[in-house]
Structure 1
Amino acid sequence: MSTIRRVGLLAASGAAAVAFATACGSSGYHSSTTPPPSGPSSTAPMTPSPGQSATTVKVTNNGSLSQILTDSNGFTLYRFDVDSNNPPTSNCNTGCIDTWSPATVTGQPTGTGVDASQLSTITRPDGTKQLTFHGWPLYRYSGDSKAGQTNGQAIGGTWWAVTPSGGKAMAASSSPTAPPSTGGGY
């Protein structure tokens, strides 16, 4: 392999690693109006405690995003564009899960207002079962301290609240694009 080709491959690999780390990291907040979370909230648990099951997914009406999926406690469920739905694969591991908690389940997932045949699970590296919908692994965002919040929406242009059809939730007049620039570069 030529030196030029090796350098090109190395540069491409490095760029991909930086993009992935940025998407998963806790510094990828989408605007200056959404402050980073200060830590876990005592309002409600982000993941079920041992013995508690978060197996119910429901459709919730949410102002600007219309209908989205939430867990049984009303917390928004998100999908990550870097994951895969075919086959269902989570690429949010290690540091990423500090901000994006996998929606874990203990038992058979069920749904209210969703196609229950599209609910399933994958086994994470630690052995826990993560909820999937239409094959996409689902997560909760640490910046959502109360039920109904969607502070994780569009972070890094890769994290999205989930629609009842498994798609990316969008505001009524928007399309799936990168978040607006903060003014840099002009």
Structure 2
Amino acid sequence: MRARNALFAIPLALGLVACGAGNDGDTSGGRRPVKTAPGTEVTVADVGLGSILVDGKGRTLYAFTKDKDAASNCDAECIAVWPALTSPAPATAGQGIRRSLLREAKHSGGAVHVTYGDWPLYYYVGDTGPGDVNGQGLDGEWFAVAPDGKLVRKAA
């Protein structure tokens, strides 16, 4: 009798183990969510120009007056000096940022350029650290951006 009960118990136990293996309460059919990189943070800092947009590391963000309707007019030569602020995921609105103004625009190369209001945002290669505003007013076309989305035209 014991041998006969064992014959039924072993397949039953194996079946239960197989059904529960690897599930751990996961109802996604074994698929795990893909982790994405966090979005680039845009926040506000007070510098000599007043309150301006900066990235999460405090680097000044600029707008180009030749850009229109969130479309970049900065060509390859321009981008070498004024790298675009890009983000692997939707940008994160830090303190002082109006989320409704923070958006992304796709470029022809597939990169996602972060915009604020109607302005694509850029860095300036001449800025070496947080709070630098060496690009302010260059060529009368490059300006820091205020939290309301307007250009800061004050001289550095």
TM-score by length of 2: 0.72
Give the structure with higher Rg (CA): 2
1:76 matches 2:60: yes
Match of 2:117 in 1: 134
- Number of residue pairs matched by the alignment: 120
Match of 2:151 in 1: 168
Question: Do the aligned residues in 1 keep the contact of 2:64 with 2:141 (CA within 8 Å)?
Answer: yes
Equivalent residues in 2 for 1:1-186, closer than 5 Å: 53=38, 55-62=40-47, 64-84=48-68, 86=69, 88-112=70-94, 113-171=96-154
TM-score by length of 1: 0.61
Aligned counterparts of 2:67 and 2:93: Cα–Cα separation in 1? 22
1:53–1:96 distance in 2 versus 1, CA, 3 Å? farther
Structure 1 residue 55, shift from structure 2 partner: 1.7
Q: Give the gaps of 5 or more residues in structure 1.
A: 1-50, 180-186
Bigger Cα displacement from structure 2, 162-171 vs 65-74: 162-171
Question: Do the aligned residues in 1 keep the contact of 2:61 with 2:122 (CA within 8 Å)?
Answer: yes
Aligned counterparts of 2:38 and 2:78: Cα–Cα separation in 1? 23
Question: Do the aligned residues in 2 keep the contact of 1:77 with 1:140 (CA within 8 Å)?
Answer: yes
Question: Do the aligned residues in 2 keep the contact of 1:53 with 1:106 (CA within 8 Å)?
Answer: yes
Structure 1 residue 170, shift from structure 2 partner: 3.4
Runs (4 or more) in structure 1 with deviation over 2 Å come to: 51-54
Aligned counterparts of 1:154 and 1:58: Cα–Cα separation in 2? 21
Aligned counterparts of 2:37 and 2:126: Cα–Cα separation in 1? 22
Aligned counterparts of 1:54 and 1:153: Cα–Cα separation in 2? 26
Question: What's the CA shift string for 1:1-43, capped at 9, x where partnerless?
Answer: xxxxxxxxxxxxxxxxxxxxxxxxxxxxxxxxxxxxxxxxxxx
Aligned counterparts of 2:108 and 2:37: Cα–Cα separation in 1? 20
1:91–1:152 distance in 2 versus 1, CA, 3 Å? same
Aligned counterparts of 2:153 and 2:126: Cα–Cα separation in 1? 19
Aligned counterparts of 1:73 and 1:53: Cα–Cα separation in 2? 14
Tell me which amino acid in the other structure corresponds to 1:72.
Answer: G
Q: Give the gaps of 5 or more residues in structure 2.
A: 1-35
Tell me which amino acid in the other structure corresponds to 2:52.
Answer: I
